[in-house]
Amino acid sequence: MHRAKARERGKPKVSGAALRDEGKQTEEQAERHCGIKGSINYGRNGVKTRIIGTGSCLPGTVVTNDDLSKVMDTSDEWISSRTGIRERHLVKEETTASMSVEAAKRAMKDAGVTAEEIDLIILGTVSADFVTPACACEVQAAIGATNAVAFDINAACAGFMFALNIANAYIQAGIYRTALILGAETLSKIVDWEDRSTCVLFGDGAGAAVVRGDEQYGLLAFDQGSDGTKGDVLACPGRTNNNPLIQTDQRLGFVHMDGQEVYKFAVTTVPASLQKTIETAGLMPKDIDYFALHQANIRILQSVSKRLHIGEDKFPISLDHCGNISAASVPILLDEMNRKGLLKPGMKVALSGFGGGLTWASAVLEW
């Protein structure tokens, strides 16, 4: 059901400064952590970028916390009480590309578009099957999107959100009309399964969305940023060089995370970025119907809810049965919400992805 036109908005109750003070950041830090140039308001040329279809794919094998307790020193109580995660999906035969293809097909079916209509494919991932070709090119070939430009991006857990903004820029510029954006990960191959503090957090899966220019609904505002000075708090080394001039240890690198630093980053930067984006859209936090955030940890979601003074019922979760799937978290959550019938035309939805890099991105859109 279409919602009535939003009423006149006043100043939001919670200012960006208040959020920054609560997070104990200086003005300079807060400015850096929610975009020095500020959020951008879209749709000025009369066209907005709208999500017209969603899809997702999870591996068929479910691994519960109790399953993990049989192979490492952990328990369901230890994991769930600290993270909110109870199970995750891990690949067997599936690959990053195969899950991406299935998610893409489901999103296209939901959107009612053919492969020939896709002009652009952008896939966010840190765990593609190949260094080259790009996973997006594998998707292009599998779905027959012969007219599409395809490439991958690496913005870790903010990958899908960065892809959304890139697609939006192309659409706003009039270069492309219809884009397929994805977040897909096989994180189980890059985590150290002997490190219980990290490996229990992650899962595998893929999510996708079809976006297209629309004159009525779509993206209202966007904020994104990066802080490479803290990149080492969440990192995964690549292969080392062993050319004729240098010999190095050829052991594969695994994900390493400083959980406390990542948590502090998330609970300060995310609410500040969301607040700024909501204000740029001409709204207040209470005007947002749902907050679809990256599913990293239930405590982060609860903290963001508290700092924005918004009830937790507006923060849907998928991490309890999916775990943290990095770039795939936001599109998988969106697809679950869409399939449950939670999203109605005209609803205001806030999105946010955040993680390695460090990177973050927030958006407000009318569904």
Residues labelled as active-site residues: 157, 294, 324
Please report which residue ranges of 250-340 form alpha helices under DSSP H: 259-280, 298-307, 319-322, 329-339
What's the half-sphere exposure (Cβ side, CA atoms, 13 Å) at 144?
6
Strands (E) located in 118-243: 120-124, 149-153, 178-186, 204-214, 218-226, 234-235
Interhelix angle 259-280/298-307, nearest 10 degrees: 40
The pair of three-digit structure tokens given for residue 330, joined into one six-digit string: 């936001």
CA 22, 16, 347, 48 torsion-angle sign:
negative
Phi/psi of residue 29, nearest 5 degrees:
-65, -45
Q: What is the DSSP string of 44-67?
A: TTS-EEEEEEEEEE--SEEEEHHH
Q: For residue 271, is the peptide bond before it cis, meaning its omega torsion is within 30 degrees of 0?
A: no
d(CA 107, CA 139): 13
